[in-house]
Amino acid sequence: MSTVRLFIQVGLFFITKRAEIRLKERAMNNNNVEAYQHMLEKAAQFIKDNDDFLVLAHLNPDGDAIGSSLATMHLLRSLGKKVHVVNEGECPKRFSFLPGFEEIIDLSKISLNRSFSAVISVDVADEKRFGKIGSVIADDAQILNIDHHPTNTNFGVLNVIQPTAASTTEILFDLITAHFSPQLDSPTANALYTGLLTDTGGFRYANTKQSVLDMAAKLLGYGVQPDQIADYALETVTASHIELLKYALQSLSFHYEGQVAIILVSQEDMKAAGASKDDVDGISSYPRKIEGVEVGALFKEWSEGEVKVSLRSNKYVDVALLAQRNGGGGHAKASGYTFNGNLQAAKEDLLNQLKDIIQK
């Protein structure tokens, strides 16, 4: 056999193998799409089959949790369903521009003397993130679990989990456009857009795919004003936030040759700045932005002996795995957990865990 003929045969072999691999990948993708569409159909049927709903999101809700909750509320109302939207923890006031915001019940302040059998959970990775909401869920409750966190524990009777979605509102957009398109209106569109905007960091994070921008463009057709939502949800800060940031940056420290940056916020800092829990939002992104930093961490002393840890990463560290190991969860580049102890102990504990993770 000539050398030329041998090279041709080897080349054809590798071309054939690559084609086979592409076909297998395409088949896997098609199977995933079919499974996802099937779960959306089951979710739609769950909504059609029930009339009195509890809609809930995770503790201390963020933009995606609030946007998902309100979009679901608007959908159910437009279908003639009864619905209560609850959370444990105050919703950040910067989202008060969203229609229906004032109807969200904070169970840490207001009791709800009844239970629900039809429950829709949005943007909640596991049942521990319910908080006190579990008290209003009936023992025989059927839970529809809609979420995009890869750490989701599939706690629902129906689980629509799509880790490739940039936000939970992206999944809800797929559900509504596929099965309830006449119900998509301006209030719903604004809620969906807000969740998408905040969970992509204003369309700057790595999860900003073509499907994300396509969805955003379609929502503009329903009266969404992107400049206004960006101002409310991302840009505008309070004077007390800036005061708190001044205290927080004084605690900034670097570790592992500058690859880890940590900021601490104590209760004393909060008091001195006249800050609320709302004002802490956004500070967690500062350490990660520093050149050369791979992992940025914000430690917030929520109460005596309770520290909230927010983790952000840039390239190779999966902070979702780190958070999950500590009883929390989230995404590969943004996650968090609760540490029982003081700020210094929480900081030392994280640094010990990062010892074998940070590349030397």
Question: In this predicted structure, which of 150-154, 157-161, 202-206, 328-332 has the lowest mean pLDDT?
Answer: 328-332
Res. 307: pLDDT tops 60? yes
Give the C-alpha separation, 307 to 264, whole Å: 10
* Residue 7: predicted pLDDT: 41
Q: At what angle do helices 168-179 and 210-220 cross, to 10 degrees?
A: 60
DSSP state of 182: G
Residue (of 162, 184, 212, 181) closest to 37 by Cα position: 162
Helix (H, G, I), strand (E, B), or coil: what is residue 303?
strand
pLDDT, average across residues 257-279 = 95
Q: Could you give the CA distance from residue 74 to residue 169 in angstroms, rounded to a whole number?
A: 13
Over 90: is that where the pLDDT of 292 sits? yes
In the prediction, which pLDDT does 31 show?
A: 61
Residue 360: the pLDDT is 63
Q: What tens digit of pLDDT does each residue of 57-73 get? A: 988 899 999 999 999 99
36-51: pLDDT as tens digits:
999 999 999 999 999 9
Which pLDDT score, from 0 to 100, does residue 326 have?
Answer: 93
Cα torsion angle, 207, 209, 212, 217, sign:
positive
The CA–CA distances, whole Å, from 270 to 73, 240, 274, 277, 310 equal 34, 9, 6, 8, 17
* Mean pLDDT computed over 129-148: 91
The DSSP secondary-structure symbol of 285 reads G
Nearest of 203, 193, 249 to residue 225 by alpha carbon: 193
pLDDT of 284 higher than 70: yes
Q: What percent of the chain has pLDDT over 90?
A: 75
| Mean pLDDT confidence for 134-158 | 94
Q: Are 329 and 323 in contact (CB under 8 A)?
A: yes
Is residue 210 predicted with pLDDT exceeding 60?
A: yes
pLDDT of 297 above 70: yes
Give the full edge-to-edge strand order of the sheet including 334-340: 253-255, 260-265, 295-303, 306-313, 334-340, 329-330
Label residue 6 exposed, middle or buried (CB < 10 Å: 0-12, 13-18, 19+): exposed
- The answer to whether residue 105 scores a pLDDT higher than 90 is yes
Structural domains in the chain plus CATH codes: 33-235 (3.90.1640.10), 239-354 (3.10.310.30)
pLDDT for the residue 317: 94
| Percent of the chain residues topping a pLDDT of 70 | 91
Q: Are strands 137-147 and 158-161 parallel, antiparallel or unpaired?
A: parallel
Dihedral angle, C-alpha 88, 93, 95, 96, nearest 10 °: 100
Q: Which residues of 79-104 are buried (b: 16+ CB within 10 A; e: fewer)?
A: eebebbbbbbbebbebbeebebbeeb
Query: 81: phi > 0 → left, psi -120 to 50 → alpha, else beta; which?
Result: beta
Q: What is the per-residue burial (b if ≥16 Cβ within 10 Å, else e) of 316-352?
A: ebebbebbbebebbbbbbbbbbbbeeebeebbeebbe
pLDDT given at position 63? 95
On the question of pLDDT at 25 being above 90, the answer is no
Distance (Å, whole) CA 290 – CA 95? 28
252 has a pLDDT exceeding 90: yes
In whole angstroms, give the CA distance from residue 321 to residue 326: 9
User: Mean pLDDT in the chain?
Assistant: 90
